[in-house]
A and B are shown apart, each in its own frame.
Chain A
Amino acid sequence: MASRPRTLYEKIWDAHVVERREDGTCLLYIDRHLVHEVTSPQAFEGLRVAGRRVRRPELTLAVPDHNVPTTARLGADGTPLPIADPESAAQLAALTRNTAEFGIPYIPATAPAQGIVHVVGPEQGFSLPGATVVCGDSHTAAHGGIGALAFGIGTSEVEHVLATQTLLLAGSKTMEVRVEGDLGPGITAKDLILHIIGRIGTAGGTGHVIEYRGRVFEEMSVEGRLTVCNMSIEGGARAGLIAPDETVFAWLEGRPMAPAGEAWDAALAWWRTLATDPGARFDKSVVIDAAEVEPTVTWGTSPEDVAGIGGHVPDPDSFADPAKQAAAAKSLAYMGLAPGTPLSDIPVENVFIGSCTNSRIEDLRAAAAVLDGRTKAPGVKWAIAVPGSGLVKRQAEAEGLDRIFTAAGFEWREPGCSACLAMNPDKVPAGERCASTSNRNFVGRQGPGARTHLMSPAMAAAAAVTGRLTDVRALMAS
């Protein structure tokens, strides 16, 4: 093996190369494959048509999340309730059928372990440091938070992984996002990643794998790291990584699907060698001053349209790039916002706390800490809290968080992707705003005509309480 210093990404990549082709593309072994109901039916159909089998069914784990309603799934007698939308029901039935036919481990919608793929993977110890993890979903980048090389793939690639347990890939360039200093009080992982995307732009990481470096990440919880890496794709990057450390190892040990005993010790020994070597070179480097990060929200229809909560809606003419001027003007028209409006004057009618970005226990605790003893403002018509998995939900209920949410006027839901993507019954009405902890503020993302403002769980809770975008630090002080 080459002795030149290597980055974390290069070490994981090199350890998974099955064959290197003349042109530099590699057949890369895939250790872990997550499957959900939306991007897999055509892949299974492809296997059937070609008469192909699944090479290693035990390395794939399937769980429905995108389509499932977040209302009660079991009737009073404990039997599963029917899903009203026939197309959603058909997609779920197809996943049940396909996983049974091909022998793939499957967590059905009614099971206690069900949840969003990117919450379930790390939670079960299925996703591991140093592993290659793929899923037909762009937010697979999340698993980089525990040190996995994880990226989203299309359905043809899902089929390719099922059939061969490999992908044919050209390597990515490496990009370092180095955060210097410490985050201020009340500033979260979500504020930081929104700030980073604002700096690098939605195409800033295209063709690259980002490694997030700096003391901030070393001191960050696993949940926070998953949030940061989750949104790497919003910066255009194929994947995001944070070097796995003792915090991650302690978090993973004893999880149901994680290695145990001697296998755990052997894995641990390897995981401890994964950090980027001193002197390793990145193709691109960006330095962020942590002290500059405010509670951050989006004002437009691209995740790069961010500003600190103390700021204003920008004037499109203030951007240097003419294409960006046009895009910003279009965004503001869609969002119904006038340039110069203070962000803290923007009212919201809906609040969504959930999604693969922010639905873990720490996210629910942060929101509940703000909501405790408070209620949602009269102008807030709909507020929902959607745990990322059944296990997160159970934990939150054991801590009494569900009662804080419901006392504040929130609906406490069953796990799923929910209002992140307008595929299930949880949608934001046209023309209304939503303070949302999800990852995309695209046109129509939360429903046709819906206006999304992305922010952290604590900030979304603050918006629920005041009925407008609000600096949560003011509520924390009181």
Chain B
Amino acid sequence: MKPVATIEGRAIPLGLKNLDTDVIIPAHWLKTITRDGLGKGAFETLRAEPGNILDDPEYAGAPILIAGDNFGCGSSREHAAWALADLGIAAVIAPSFSDIFSGNAFKNGILTVALPQEAVDRLLEVARDHPVTVDLDSQTVTTPFQDRFAFAIDPFRKHCLSEGLDEIGLTLASSAAIGAFERMEGRPWLVPSASPANVGLNGTIA
């Protein structure tokens, strides 16, 4: 994964509360077996409206998206994060995010920045005509007008994002601890006497 540092540029002032992942990428785009090219389907229903802000040339190539409360709610589809990444979005600013979406965004190097509603309202206003800067190191969002909004981020996520780390690789370093956990006694729920063999490869039940 590419390390994340400072994201600077135009921000699409989308607003809109409860933007669910079905809106970010409708289900018919999910019949793919790769991660690529989903930007075409991103926000399909919103972009079907003439004059929509997402296709406004003013914001072409914008690396930041500003949205309303509860962004990314609904389906767990990581395709939503892949679609945003394919559009070139590197950070999303909103008052809140769904838990699953923010995890998916993080895994794809997209920064989710949660700020109070007043700060988001101010950024929606500024972003109409001016760039916005999101800086991971100082954990701030700034504008050309001396606005400076601090945001919180989990230290582990910050570390992974700024170093571009592979989380699976990190966890595999704990293989010994995982093995020890598996060998612990007195944990009947771990015993695979829950014989998966009963459901055979042809789906029959013994």
In the bound assembly, the distance between CA atoms of A202 and B99 in angstroms comes to 12
Q: Mark B10-31, 1 if CB is under 8 A from A, else 0.
A: 0000000110101100111011
In contact, A31 and B190 (Cβ under 8 angstroms): yes
In contact, A131 and B189 (Cβ under 8 angstroms): yes
Size bin of chain A's contact surface: 35 or more
Q: Mark B173-186, 1 if CB is under 8 A from A, else 0.
A: 01101100110000
A85 within 8 A of B: yes
B39 within 8 A of A: no
Name A's interface SS: loop
Beta-carbon nearest neighbor of A442 in chain B: B22
Q: Mark A221-258, 1 if CB is under 8 A from B, else 0.
A: 00000000000010010100000000000000000111
Shortest Cβ distance from residue B82 to the other chain A in the assembled complex, whole angstroms: 8
Inside 8 A of A87's CB, which chain B residues have their CB? 31-32
Inside 8 A of B197's CB, which chain A residues have their CB? 105
Inside 8 A of B69's CB, which chain A residues have their CB? 203, 323
In contact, B26 and A39 (Cβ under 8 angstroms): no
In contact, A128 and B178 (Cβ under 8 angstroms): no
9-residue interface stretch from B72-80, B125-133, B144-152: B72-80
- Give which listed residue, A67, A206, A423, contacts B70 with CB less than 8 A: A206
- Give which listed residue, B76, B78, B191, contacts A259 with CB less than 8 A: B191
In the bound assembly, the distance between CA atoms of A465 and B55 in angstroms comes to 45
In the bound assembly, the distance between CA atoms of A29 and B177 in angstroms comes to 11
Most chain B CB neighbours (cut-off 10 Å) among A61, A94, A443: A443
Inside 8 A of B175's CB, which chain A residues have their CB? 164
- Give which listed residue, A108, A129, A206, contacts B99 with CB less than 8 A: A206
Residues 105-163 of A contacting B (Cβ, < 8 Å): 105-108, 110-114, 124-126, 128-131, 136-138, 140, 152-157, 159-160, 163
Inside 8 A of A55's CB, which chain B residues have their CB? 178
In contact, B202 and A444 (Cβ under 8 angstroms): no
Beta-carbon nearest neighbor of A15 in chain B: B187
A266 within 8 A of B: yes
In contact, B171 and A168 (Cβ under 8 angstroms): yes
In the bound assembly, the distance between CA atoms of A172 and B45 in angstroms comes to 33
In the bound assembly, the distance between CA atoms of A130 and B32 in angstroms comes to 34
In the bound assembly, the distance between CA atoms of A42 and B104 in angstroms comes to 13
Q: Nearest 4 A-B pairs (CB), nearest first?
A: A111-B203, A156-B107, A154-B78, A154-B104
- Contacts from A to B (Cβ < 8 Å): 15, 18-19, 21, 23, 25, 27, 29, 31, 38-39, 41-42, 45, 50, 52, 55-56, 58-59, 61, 66-67, 85, 87-88, 90-91, 94, 100, 105-108, 110-114, 124-126, 128-131, 136-138, 140, 152-157, 159-160, 163-166, 168, 170, 172, 202-203, 206-207, 233, 236, 238, 256-261, 263, 266-267, 269-270, 302, 323-324, 326-327, 421-423, 440, 442-445, 448
- Contacts from B to A (Cβ < 8 Å): 17-18, 20, 22-23, 26-28, 30-35, 45, 68-70, 73-78, 81, 96, 98-100, 103-104, 107-108, 154-156, 167-168, 170-172, 174-175, 177-178, 181-182, 187-199, 201-206
